[in-house]
Amino acid sequence: MSVVVQMKRRHMDLLEYPEDRGYPTDYLLSRIKGRRGLLIRDWRPLVFDVTPLESLSSSRYRGLISIKSPDAVWRFLVQEYRWVYLQMNGKLRRIFYPFFLYTELRTIFICLRHTKEKSAWRTDELLDASLLSEEIKTVLSTSGDISTAIAGIERIFRNVSPNFGGLSGILDEEGLRGVEQRLTNTYLVQTMGSDLNPLIRDFFSRIIDSRNIMSLFKYQRLESKAVPVFIPGGSITVPRLLEIIKKDDVFAVTALIRELTGIKADTPNPTLIESSLYKGITKFLRKTGKHPFGAEPILDYLWRCSIEAMNLGVLFYGKDLERDIVTAELVH
């Protein structure tokens, strides 16, 4: 058995791998077509409703009604992803595995925060819906403190690549946020260095571009002394980003956004930049998703679900904000 095959097998072990039911791709596409019609299309009534989640009449959202914690929104998304994953045949799972594991990194981060806050019951609720492997779930649900939990996660991910090492040291130096950034960045680098479906590769390239542009913007606006760690693999190269910093070009971010998304952002702020970048990915996937067969409409649906969850989270967090501010944060 080759080293490459061994690495892939260990990598796949980070998620559950239930029995392949052998459903044809057309079956999943048909089911997704029906579920796509249940997604929220008009957000305006919810923005101006005093109790927006209680206004969601579809049974699809029953689990969110009267739930106060923003974690409920993420659990809702994870449950939908789980449903899609279970309907996939083995070939589709292999194509979409990098996407599902990328999304589950956030599950890990939420659980680590709960461990730090000593709220284990919230971890158990989320992990019940998660696609993470039983080994990872055990670490997250049984670790008594944040240091033990991160040491366990580091051990598991190091079995995929030694590049995931050092998370415990990052915790001591930069805190939990530093761990989240290092694990995410390393995962994206590892993923872009693997054998990906062209659509999935293009998607991750756009994710990397978005993260790099946000890092550049925060560095320039906050006047941080530490140059951000840019992730290779995007369409905007790391040398180009470093050259922008060298030239102190504070207008470069708006030009990059227009280049990537076609969206003009004259007065950039964190909310506008982030929503513009997500809108760019949405536009790209909507265009590719018109292809009636294959992976394109599946990825388009998964992304639309994530945007819907993101917007529901905005409604959760923005209940006491001015309505125009909430509207500006929504991604359409």
- Domain stops at, among 195, 211, 231: 195
Amino acid found at 68: K
Domain assignment of residue 54, yes or no: no
> How many residues in total does the chain contain?
332
Q: For residue 151, what pLDDT is reported?
A: 97
Within this chain, do residues 115 and 215 fall inside the same structural domain, yes or no? no
Q: For residue 122, what pLDDT is reported?
A: 75
Q: For residue 8, what pLDDT is reported?
A: 45
Averages of pLDDT over each 10 residues, the chain, 332 residues: 41 83 91 91 80 60 59 88 95 95 96 87 85 96 94 95 95 95 96 95 97 92 82 96 91 91 78 88 89 88 94 81 82 82
- Domain stops at, among 166, 195, 224: 195
Within this chain, do residues 82 and 191 fall inside the same structural domain, yes or no? yes
Q: For residue 57, what pLDDT is reported?
A: 53
Say how far apart CA 298 and CA 300 lie, in whole Å.
5
Within this chain, do residues 75 and 172 fall inside the same structural domain, yes or no? yes
Within this chain, do residues 112 and 207 fall inside the same structural domain, yes or no? no
Say how far apart CA 95 and CA 45 lie, in whole Å.
37
Query: For residue range 99-143, what is the model confidence (pLDDT) as tens digits?
Result: 999 999 999 999 999 999 887 667 888 899 999 999 999 999 999
- Structurally, the chain folds into a number of domains equal to 2
Q: For residue 209, what pLDDT is reported?
A: 97
Domain assignment of residue 60, yes or no: no
Q: For residue 62, what pLDDT is reported?
A: 58
Q: For residue 11, what pLDDT is reported?
A: 59
Containing structural domain, residue 231: 197-316+323-332
- Domain stops at, among 177, 195, 213: 195
Q: For residue 3, what pLDDT is reported?
A: 38
Amino acid found at 47: V
Task: Write the DSSP symbol of residue 145.
Answer: S
Q: Are the beta carbons of 263 and 213 closer than 8 angstroms?
A: no
Q: Are the beta carbons of 215 and 221 closer than 8 angstroms?
A: no
**Would you state the structure tokens that stand for residue 153, as one six-digit string?**
């996660």
Q: For residue 193, what pLDDT is reported?
A: 94
Within this chain, do residues 173 and 270 fall inside the same structural domain, yes or no? no
209 CB burial (10 A radius; 0-12, 13-18, 19+): buried
Say how far apart CA 64 and CA 311 lie, in whole Å.
13
Which residues are CB-contacts of 322 (< 8 A; sequence separation ≥ 6)? Answer: none
Q: Are the beta carbons of 84 and 302 closer than 8 angstroms?
A: yes
Within this chain, do residues 92 and 208 fall inside the same structural domain, yes or no? no
Q: Are the beta carbons of 134 and 18 closer than 8 angstroms?
A: no
**Would you state the structure tokens that stand for residue 180, as one six-digit string?**
């989240």
Say how far apart CA 166 and CA 25 lie, in whole Å.
40
Q: Are the beta carbons of 126 and 110 closer than 8 angstroms?
A: yes
Domain assignment of residue 280, yes or no: yes
Within this chain, do residues 176 and 216 fall inside the same structural domain, yes or no? no
Say how far apart CA 11 and CA 234 lie, in whole Å.
22
Tokens 């083995």 locate to 90
Say how far apart CA 242 and CA 238 lie, in whole Å.
6
Domain assignment of residue 143, yes or no: yes
Query: For residue range 11-39, what is the model confidence (pLDDT) as tens digits?
Result: 568 999 888 888 899 999 999 999 998 88
Q: For residue 264, what pLDDT is reported?
A: 82
Within this chain, do residues 155 and 103 fall inside the same structural domain, yes or no? yes
Say how far apart CA 230 and CA 144 lie, in whole Å.
33
